[in-house]
Amino acid sequence: MNDVMIEARGVTKNFGDLQVLKGIDLVIPQGSVTCIIGPSGSGKSTFLRCINQLESLDGGYIVVQGEPVGVKIKNDRLHMKSHAESAKMRENIGMVFQSFNLFPHMTVLQNICEAPVRVKRKNPKKVRERALELLERVGLSAKADSYPSSLSGGQQQRVAIARALAMEPSLMLFDEPTSALDPELVGEVLDVMRGLARAGMTMIVVTHEIGFAREVGDHLIFMDGGGIIEQGDPRTVLQDPQHERTKQFLAKVI
Amino acid sequence: MTSTLDVERKHPSAVDDKTRSLLLGRPHKHNGAMWLTASVVLVTVLLVAYSLVTNQRYEWDVAFSWFTSERLFTGLLRTLGLTAISMVVGIVVGVCLALARLAPNTIVAGVAAFLVWFFRGVPVFVQLLFWGFIAAIYPRIEIGVPFGPEFFSVDANSLITPFVAAVLGLGLNEGAYMSEIVRAGLLSVNRGQTEAATALGMRRSAILFRIILPQAMKVIVPPTGNQTISMLKTTSLVSVLAFPELLYSAQLVYSANFKTIPLLIAASMWYLLVTSVLSLGQYFIERHYNRGTATAGRVNTRADRRRIKSATATTTSSEEGQP
């Protein structure tokens, strides 16, 4: 084991006849914040979903902390992982969705405690304490017993972050976490993510928030048409994009 | 800032004063047709009620005395038991068939679809007769290795009693309907829920039982309540298998004393009473599964509904009050 969190080589993905990922090569070090930007349909969300096997790969491989995603090597042969084996790996990878996807039939606290108690079989009392700590961290202690439907979008997304953190993941994936929010609610979610980055969490963030990418990101990736067009230090890429498509995209969003 | 008055001075009204004062009032209501319809309906109801009371052939006193008789009550208990067991069988079969139909395995999904087609397509009365005559097709039921040695066998008539035949007929038919209800419920849950649970590392069974099914309940429970009420009444068909449930108990009595109508009335009163109680129960179950959907988590309480009613009433009246 070294300090590489994720290594992706030649990752391809097809939806029917359409190739949405055309060979992604990427190395992400531990403790880094990587932001992926690009127009819709560029494959950035699909790539993120490949990392925790929500989508299966059609070619190439992804290795997270030395462990291949979706497959395993047994007796010098490559086998598919079972659903349970993939689930085991996902315990270590937190994910936050654009549409929050909180469980509407559970209270905020139940949302956070469900997976640690049911999946990791942890002591419910300790999980509860930890959940309340996390809620305080995202500034929602007062909402522990509320149902998600009574929360604003920003509050729901902060609960979703707390829910993912309750599994104590070593990697967090954010799939356009602020895209479904009213403009005035974006800040509160970005603040939580900023705090998380400061605490040293490895994060991959698919986002349209160029300001966040510039300020918090260690690494910026621009994707278009299913491939990585340009990557590097966020400030450099944003100020002085080398590729014509990057220039066009940035001219539109900034 | 310009006041309304300024605007009015600049832009005179689009209508003359007389039209304006008329428009500011409320329109006349024409209720003549409504009263006419109501009186026709009312007269008809009164005629029927008069006949119910005065026609001696109803023999209400006989009906009421049999209504409280032990024989009909025993029949009622059997009807309730048969309803409950058939519904349990129906729900279990329905959940299994629904999951099978949604399975990625096309053979499993295809066979499940075929079973649903069959058990929904053949009338339940015919199915009951088939189960009643099962011994004519399979005189002995054998347990053993397929095409190999048998471990033991039993006489079909002693295994498939009228009660077992009734449960099989009603339960499998119900299972076909329930599978469609369960399937609709499972499909009603947003895909994002499965994804979020998957991303948290939850196993398939946990995702189904902890995340998907509880949410699907909201869609599944109301029609299941209807199915239960409908099942209670469908059990009366079982009288054809000579299983002494409520209707057959009544038939046994009137075949001896010829008080046909009073006994049918007594049975009907029990059916009506139980379906009313079940409807009430369904209301409370639905309310339970609706939690988490409304803003405050629960809007279905009486107080909340009153509040909503008064809120909407205020809006309407303020709208009406506007010139």
- pLDDT given for residue B318 in this prediction: 39
CA proximity to A185, closest of A137, A151, A153? A153
For residue A236, the distance in angstroms to the closest alpha carbon of chain B comes to 33
What is the Cα B169 distance to its own chain's centre?
Answer: 19
For residue B293, pLDDT beyond 60: no
- pLDDT given for residue A170 in this prediction: 95
The arithmetic mean of pLDDT across residues B99-104, rounded, is 92
Q: How far apart are CA B120 and CA B280, in angstroms?
A: 28
The beta-carbon neighbor of A101 closest among B192, B202, B297 is B192
| Category of A66 on φ-ψ map: left (φ > 0), alpha (ψ -120 to 50) or beta | left
- pLDDT given for residue B53 in this prediction: 92
Contact assignment for B296 to A150 by CB distance below 8 Å:
yes
Q: How far apart are CA A231 and CA B85, in angstroms?
A: 65
Identify the bridge partners of residue A34 per DSSP, sorted by sequence position. Answer: A204, A219
- pLDDT given for residue B291 in this prediction: 64
- pLDDT given for residue B2 in this prediction: 55
- pLDDT given for residue B278 in this prediction: 93
- pLDDT given for residue B4 in this prediction: 64
The beta-carbon neighbor of B193 closest among A87, A92, A101 is A101
Three-state DSSP state, A7: strand
Q: Which two tokens stand for residue B191?
A: 């895909």
Phi, psi of B159 (to 5 degrees): -85, -50
The beta-carbon neighbor of B201 closest among A91, A99, A147 is A91
pLDDT, one tens digit per residue, over B222-279 is: 899 999 999 999 999 999 998 999 999 999 999 999 999 999 999 999 999 999 999 9
Contact A116, A80 (CB under 8 A): no
Three-state DSSP state, A179: coil
For residue B284, the distance in angstroms to the closest alpha carbon of chain A comes to 17
- pLDDT given for residue B310 in this prediction: 52
Q: How far apart are CA B206 and CA B208, in angstroms?
A: 5
The arithmetic mean of pLDDT across residues B129-151, rounded, is 84
Contact assignment for B292 to A167 by CB distance below 8 Å:
no
Q: Which chain B residues are closer than 8 Å to A105 by Cβ?
A: 214-215, 291-292
Chain A and chain B share a number of CB contacts under 8 A equal to 84
pLDDT, one tens digit per residue, over A126-170 is: 999 999 999 999 999 999 999 999 999 999 999 999 999 999 999
Contact assignment for A167 to B200 by CB distance below 8 Å:
yes
* Res. B138 pLDDT band, cuts 50 70 90: confident
Q: Which two tokens stand for residue B304?
A: 């909340």
- pLDDT given for residue B143 in this prediction: 80
Does the beta carbon of A106 lie under 8 angstroms from any beta carbon of chain B? yes
Average pLDDT of chain A, as a whole number: 94
- pLDDT given for residue B28 in this prediction: 83
